[in-house]
Amino acid sequence: MMNSILASPLLAKYAGKKLVKVGWLSLLVAVATQAASCLAAADWKDDIGYTQLVSVLGNSTPNGAGVPISLVEAPTGGGAYFPDTYPVPTNPQFTAGSDPFSEDIIFTDGSGMAANGVSGHAASVVGSSFFGNSSPAAGANAVTVYEANDWIENVLNMDNGQDPETQNFRVQNFSWIGTFDSGSQDRNVLRRFDFMIDRDNVTAMVGLNNGSATPLPQLLVHSYNAIAVGRSDGIHSTGLTGAFYGPGRLKPEIVAPVVTTSQATGVLSSVATLLHEAVAGGDATNSEVMKAILLAGATKDEFVGWSRTTTQPLDDTYGAGQVNVYNSYLMTLGGQTAGSTDVTGATVETVDSSGWDYRTVNPSNDLFYNFEIPVGSTAPELSVILDWNVEVTDTNGDTPFSGSESLANLDLALYNSTTTFMESLVDAESLSISVVDNVEHIYQTDLGPGLYTLRVSGVSGASARDFGLAWRLNTLFDVPSADFDEDGDVDGMDFLAWQSNFGTLLGATRAMGDADGDGDVDEIDAAILDGSFGTVTPSVTSLANTVPEPATLAHAFGGMLLLLLSRRSRKPRCLC
């Protein structure tokens, strides 16, 4: 694995230089070989929970079908930015052979310069991870491609001063960095960018620079409304946004386990595309909600020392953590639960373990959500993300566009309501009250049984603002048990309960075959069932003579289990 892509022998001569300079915009493009990309492909799908998702959903796994997406790519030598030959693709990643619908990708040339040639970076590093046949979004077969300079000039309309053009895409990828070397011009681009994201509800993924010692890029990482993506090894630029546009916000916001930031950005775009298919037509397609779902699903176990504070919602190297599509999918499955304005708590709804909301909060109306951890259970994790867009308005109202940003100030707090509604703050770390960020994050571990209340509030004097909220509460029984019918033994009836509910992802009970108390019915529950099959509790020892011999029955059960799992589990293939 390369420590820095610019340390690669192929690119050593470019180290420290701007690789592409076109007109008034300088862009850096991190290029990796296809071999490096393919080497990591199988592992990163395991690491981000994609393999786990496919093993449960099989052919029902969303693959991005029908989701309109876009790739904005910086030109390489000779001005090439397109990921394949145009108009008919020839790269196996983009042709019908291994596509889930046996269809070629239909590329639209948004900039009209596809004749400049094929970009290896656009194809092997970004496109294959974003929408290629080996990506999580292999079913997304309509892709509009722009050259980055043209996109800034003629889509954001920096060239003619008009409002940005409408972008009818759910996901748009930007695996490049750049600057005008002018704070005022960079700020103009970022205002237009954030205006477009908020207006058009685009989930926009932007990449950081490779190398932990590199400075935080000005374009487009300083955006409020996009999602800044780094690498799980931490070898990317980090730091606080600068004074020219929203100072003091930490970047990145999320990371992916691949070898370049360009590919990491493509991986996040692919995951977002898959999730957009799962929520098509609902409020979760709003950019605030999708960002919250992605960040709340991120895992921290990979990073020793991951931390946040009450005023710094994200870690300074890994953001919210490593993307996990399984966790995020569960939130889409849990669905929307409306927050309550009932300050007495009498009608506040207890939410499912995973879910989301999209709503407006103002300083006079806090919103409340209840979480319940049952007696006999502990919650190893509670992850909550509150996200809202910066609002950019055109103060001129006409040409030229004159953007001005306004940031609402929302807060997040978690209270213990077991005895009395909002009786006490859980602890100091259950507050998230940054005054500079448009993300708040609560992350709690090892919560005991009880009723907990999440409060979303607008700070007094601040304006009302739409927000996206997403959460996941992981629970476990203190004592796992496969006695699903609670008759004092573990036998064939318990196996049938597990078998009939295998694949349930949310809301499972012990009676349905959930042996460990995490709300699903999966292979882990099967392992607990297998390990205790044939056992009898002391209270029913007298019934032992009615139970088949444990060794014989467990052996038979093990055979049935292996056969069942082999039929139900479908593993994704790396097609590099």
* CATH code at position 486: 1.10.1330.10
pLDDT score of 485 more than 60: yes
Residue 338 to residue 349: CA distance in whole angstroms: 8
Looking at the fold, whether 461 and 484 belong to one and the same domain comes out as: no
Instruction: Check pLDDT > 90 for residue 38.
Output: no
- Cα(201)–Cα(289) distance, integer angstroms: 10
Average pLDDT on 142-165 reads: 95
Confidence tier at 42 by pLDDT (50, 70, 90): low
With a CB cutoff of 8 Å and minimum separation 6, the contacts of 65 are 100, 101, 139, 140, 141, 277
Residue 310 lies in a domain: no
pLDDT of res. 362: 85
Out of 476, 491, 524, pick the residue that ends a domain: 476
Element holding 229 (H helix, E strand) = strand 227-231
Q: What is the model's pLDDT at position 28?
A: 37
In this predicted model, what pLDDT tens digit does every residue of 63-72 receive, in sequence order? 999 999 999 9
CA distances from 103 to 93, 133, 141, 346, 482 (A): 11, 10, 7, 54, 45
The H-assigned helical ranges of 162-260 are: 183-200
* 444 within a domain of the structure (yes/no): yes
> Within this chain, do residues 38 and 182 fall inside the same structural domain, yes or no?
yes
Tell me whether strands 25-28 and 177-179 are parallel, antiparallel or unpaired: antiparallel
Kindly state the tokens that stand for 517. Answer: 């108390």
Residues 469 and 485 in one domain: no
Q: Report whether pLDDT(545) > 70.
A: no
Domain identity same for 467 and 513 = no
According to the model, what pLDDT value does residue 120 have?
A: 96
Q: In terms of domains, do 33 and 70 share one? A: yes
The amino acid occupying position 157 is N
Task: Note the pLDDT tens digit of each residue in 185-223.
Answer: 999 999 999 999 999 999 999 999 999 999 999 999 999
Residue 399 has pLDDT above 90, yes or no: no
Section 363-380 average pLDDT: 94
* More reliable by pLDDT, 545 or 131: 131
**How high is the pLDDT of residue 560?**
47
Which of residues 434, 460, 476 is at a domain's end? 476
Checking if the pLDDT of 549 tops 60, the result is: no
pLDDT greater than 90 at residue 407:
yes
Per residue in 231-271, pLDDT (tens digit) is 999 999 999 999 999 999 999 999 999 999 999 999 999 99
Does residue 270 sit in the same domain as residue 378?
no
Task: Tell me if 482 sits within 8 A of 532, measured CB to CB.
Answer: yes
Instruction: Give the model's pLDDT for residue 461.
Output: 64
**Of 183 and 279, which is predicted with more confidence?**
279
Residues 486 and 442 in one domain: no
Interval 262-284 mean pLDDT: 97
Q: Give the total number of structural domains in the chain.
A: 3
What pLDDT, on the 0 to 100 scale, is given for residue 162? 92
31 and 161 share a domain?
yes
| CATH number for the domain harbouring residue 401 | 2.60.120.380
Residue 365 shares a structural domain with residue 461? yes
In a domain, 68, yes or no: yes
Residues 6+ apart with CB under 8 A from 106: 141, 142, 143
- Residue 147 pLDDT > 90: yes
**Enclosing domain of residue 559:** 479-568
Rounded CA gap, 232 and 267, in Å?
Answer: 12
For the residues 96-123, what does the mean pLDDT come to? 97
**How high does pLDDT run on average in the chain?**
87
Which residues 6+ apart lie within 8 Å of 45 measured at CB?
51, 136, 572, 574
The lowest-confidence range among 37-51, 68-82, 123-137 is: 37-51
How many Cβ atoms are within 10 Å of 214's Cβ, its own excluded? 20
pLDDT band at 365 (very low <50, low <70, confident <90, very high): confident
State the average pLDDT over residues 280-302.
97
Rg (CA), the chain: 25
Q: Are 36 and 139 in contact (CB under 8 A)?
A: no
At which of 452, 476, 500 does a domain end? 476
Residues 174 and 225 in one domain: yes
Residue 356 confidence (pLDDT) above 80? yes
Q: pLDDT over 90 for what percent of the chain?
A: 79
